[in-house]
Amino acid sequence: MTTRSIGDVAQHLGLVPDTLRYYERRGVVPNPGRDAGGRRAYTEADVHLLEVLLHLRATGMPLADIASFTHYVSQDPAGVAERLNLLLTHRDHVLAEQDRVTRALAVIDQKIKDYRSRL
């Protein structure tokens, strides 16, 4: 099985290795396996999960909820219902935020139109 180093994974994800270590300590991401030298060894499944978790974070999911999601992933298949509930709840929050941003953008666009008409 091919594995990747923490530096390689961090670069792939646009992070620094210390961020991955911090997330591991907080329980936000699962601890990866280790190679013969004791260094972190990420599988492609680990990297895929990290990508999903970063999308959740980018859309405002709190770290505690991401940690819960990660915990439920480790309980597969028993944790599927809990993961689904977390994602459905988060999706509702994201849609509400998207609506708020859309309304704010409409106000900004109107102001731009107003100011351009004055030039």
Instruction: Report CA-CA distances (Å) from 22 to 28, 65, 98.
Output: 9, 16, 29
The correct CATH number of 6-117 out of 3.30.70.3270, 2.40.10.10, 1.10.1660.10, 1.10.3720.10 is 1.10.1660.10
Q: Could you read off the pLDDT of 68-107 as tens digits, one per residue?
A: 999 999 888 889 999 999 999 999 999 999 999 999 999 9
Q: Which of 66, 72, 84, 4 is nearest to 29 (CA)?
A: 66
Alpha carbon distance 19, 16 (integer Å) = 6
Q: What are phi and psi for residue 76, nearest 5 degrees?
A: -55, 135
Give percent of the chain with pLDDT exceeding 90: 90
Contact 3, 40 (CB under 8 A): no
Averaged confidence pLDDT in the chain:
95
